[in-house]
Amino acid sequence: MDLAVVHDVHMTINLVHRFVYFAPEAAEEYGALGITGQGGYFGPRAAPLGAVPPSVVLATFYNFSPAAVLPNTTGLWDKASPEAFQAARFRVVQRALARTGVALSAEQVAEARSLVDPVVAGLDLAGKPLAAANAAGALPDDALTALWQQLTVIREWRGDVHIALLVANQLGPCDCMVVQVGTGRFPMSITQATRQWSEAQWAAAVERLGARGWVDADGVMTPAGVAERERIEADTDRLCAPIWAPIGDSGAKRLGELIAPIHDAMVAAGTYAALA
């Protein structure tokens, strides 16, 4: 597999997946369950795992602080069951796709499924908890939502692999967010609002990265630090490459082309205005 193709298709899948966290339908559907704030993020995303304790959500979601996870997941399943969250999540997806008028024909959806399904079926799920949990559930009846869910399995699979590499490279939960912000991959404002690392925790992470030569005295990423972040990204792509063997480079490229209009429609609808 061409690693550039592998990287591109995974980035497209991530862009297609992420509207579920920003679409206005999310607040409506989870609000109907009595869930507000970050509970509307952790609940539906963790729901495929079942009614796991907050500590498991914290361990699995990795780059979130305990201050973000624990208050928003303690007692969460008493308010709404994992099954209720999963059903609501699928409603969010179906409603948002319908509202934005995603321009995929039934034939294109079927073609995309013919490409993504063998990839999902062949995944090695050992050590990939979020991917395994998402792959275990029944697909929704709506064809486009079912396609989104299959893409979500692959998205979470890559995330599980990436976390394994972060652990192997001794890049902790706060450390990796310092790197994400420092390399321009994630806005600081969103990091502060959602990951909720304290100033002291952030400073300690910067100090650890400084000792490794990844940031300078001002906390700015060094060329060595940027190179190390790129190496981890490249290693992630390398470990992801084998899953695309059932459809090869051409199939992966075609899948990316087929699903890209979903992201385009969400952008056109202003879904990501909060990120501007």
Rounded distance between C-alpha atoms, residue 9 and residue 181, angstroms = 23
**CA 216 – CA 213 distance, rounded (Å):** 7
Question: What pLDDT shows up at residue 187?
Answer: 87
- The list of the chain residues with pLDDT below 70 reads 276
Q: What is the pLDDT of residue 78?
A: 97
Q: List the structure tokens of 78.
A: 């008493």
What are the residue ranges spanned by the domains of the chain?
Answer: 3-275
What pLDDT is recorded for position 275? 79
CA nearest neighbour of 252 among 159, 185, 154, 160: 154
120, 135 Cβ separation under 8 angstroms: yes
Q: What is the pLDDT of residues 95-147, one digit of tens each?
A: 999 999 998 999 999 999 999 999 999 999 999 999 999 999 999 999 999 99
pLDDT of 185 reads 86
What is the pTM (predicted TM-score) of this model? 0.96
pLDDT on residue 211: 97
> Which pLDDT does position 274 carry in this prediction?
79
User: Can you give the pLDDT at residue 217?
Assistant: 82
The predicted-structure confidence for 72-108, as pLDDT tens digits, reads as follows 999 999 999 999 999 999 999 999 999 999 989 999 9
Rounded Cα gap, residues 211 and 234, in angstroms: 23
Q: What gap in Å lies between CA 128 and CA 132, rounded to an integer?
A: 6
Give CA–CA dist 14/80, Å, rounded.
27
